[in-house]
Amino acid sequence: MQQLHSFVRSTLVVRVVQVGLVAAAVVHGYIISFGRSFHFRDIDIHREIGRRFLSGEYLYANDYCYMYLPTTGIYFAPLLALDRNPSLALRYAAAVVCLVVTIVLFQRMIVGLSDSNRWGGLWVGIGAGALTLQFMLNDLDDGGPHLMLLGILAGGLYAIWVGREWLGAALVGLGIVLKVTPALFVLLFLWKRQWRVALYTVAATLLWIVLPVLYMGPTGWWDHHAEWTRNAVLSVLDRQVEGRQENELQKANLSLRHTMLRYLITYPPTHRLRQVDPGYQPVLDLPSPVANGIVGVAAVSLFGLFAWYSRRPFQGPGDSHWAQDCAATFILALLFSPITWDQHLVWMIPAACVVVTAATQMNGGLSRVGYGMLAVYIVLAIVLNYEVVGSARWEALKSYHHLGIAMVILYALLLSTTRGGRSSPNLYSNKILRAASRVVGQV
């Protein structure tokens, strides 16, 4: 048994598994990029945003791209350097790199640089990948845009963890401009008494927002931001114009509000969510004010639990609680976003890394209840998939927002995970700063 244990941990086995994963990614990426017939996807929207930006057209014409800030035009413009399929392949490769970066960096933040090793990192990555596999595949179907954004944010959070505050702020600020919901990290920084990091992040975000004015000119830049701000306010107030509101009113929307309202109120036959869900079956029929009040209480409770959980101030470079706090913030960003599709759930990968390290007792631990919650999550997010249950049952499951429930379960599991030992900032600070460059080289 000892020999088998040593063999499994050997460099040879690690290399073989790594080669197998790379080969699987190459084959899957080729099929996604070149091996299927054309179907309009998010990458086509992103290429159109880049094209409109470069050609000086109004980005939001014909109700197009209205959710994106003008800075995304700069971000998506490189997709036009190649034809559609090669650009999809290139983005797929970048997304896989960002996935690996995210897992490596979070594994190091969870267990510490001194305790991290290739074997542990590999199996943490495999476990986290298994817990979020269907979400990764759905995102990679479009070249992995949300995995790329996750990699950007993970890089920023890691930079903050090792004391490179300006770099971390620049990366997190870019993530905020590209998606907006990562602005929750600014609240995290303030709550953790990281005043300087919060200030740097706000400054970096403003610089990213202003950057397109150099290409668009002041008038065009202002018109775009006025339209974007108006649309954002209407979305928060739930007063979107009909065409834009229909984009949010989908049974596949897994945000906290839409998941809870599915169970609390009965939609009338003319409601959009009844029209897109032929198998709709109501659960409760509470008055709308009461239902919205319950949703509000749930939202405040989720924030309150996290505030209590993360109440300890940031302890400086090497803080052993940082990874878990950031992982919880990612899930909160998903829950409180106006629109959360299943491909967005790749942002649960950091939480999955924390849970896997706890479940395998590499760092922290799970209680018996925790293992039970993990089992329920596995059933909802892994076992009950399209291939297993079939098309009809899958549509019925989507109607009941089972993945939204799985997201809440993982959030609760993350908060209940026993934290590992506390690191000493004074002891680890210099070592972490010296090792940061080596980590980047290994990634």
| Residue 169, pLDDT score | 98
Q: Mean of the pLDDT values across residues 266-278?
A: 86
How many CB atoms sit inside 10 A of residue 197's CB? Answer: 23
Task: Name the residue with higher pLDDT: 386 or 47.
Answer: 47
Cβ-contact 95, 25 below 8 angstroms:
no
Q: Can you name the residues that pair with 365 across neighbouring β-strands?
A: 418
Considering only 276-290, 313-327, 424-438, which range has the smallest mean pLDDT? 424-438
- Is the pLDDT confidence value at 440 over 70? no
| Residue 246, pLDDT score | 63
- Dist. CA 42–CA 30, nearest whole Å: 18
Structure tokens at 249: 């009113």
- Is the pLDDT confidence value at 433 over 50? no
Under 8 Å CB-to-CB from 218, ≥6 apart: which residues?
A: none
Structure tokens at 240: 């979107």
Read off the pLDDT of residues 90-141 as tens digits, 9 standing for 90 and up.
Answer: 999 999 999 999 999 999 999 876 555 666 778 889 999 999 999 999 999 9
Considering only 33-47, 173-187, 256-270, 412-426, which range has the smallest mean pLDDT? 412-426
Read off the pLDDT of residues 297-315 as tens digits, 9 standing for 90 and up.
Answer: 999 999 999 999 999 999 9
- Is the pLDDT confidence value at 432 over 80? no
- Is the pLDDT confidence value at 1 over 60? no
- Dist. CA 84–CA 82, nearest whole Å: 6
Considering only 87-101, 130-144, 280-294, 356-370, which range has the smallest mean pLDDT? 356-370
- Dist. CA 333–CA 317, nearest whole Å: 24
**What is this structure's pTM?**
0.92
- Dist. CA 201–CA 395, nearest whole Å: 41
| Residue 387, pLDDT score | 87
Q: What's the pLDDT band for 157 if we cut at 50, 70, 90?
A: very high
Phi, psi angles (nearest 5°) of residue 365: -175, 170
Mean residue pLDDT of the chain comes to 89
Task: Name the residue with higher pLDDT: 8 or 381.
Answer: 381
Map residue 419 onto helix, strand or coil: coil
- Is the pLDDT confidence value at 318 over 60? yes
**Which residue ranges make up each domain of the chain?**
42-442
Read off the pLDDT of residues 339-353 as tens digits, 9 standing for 90 and up.
Answer: 999 999 999 999 999
* Nearest Cα residue to 107 out of 330, 316, 350: 350
| Residue 113, pLDDT score | 62
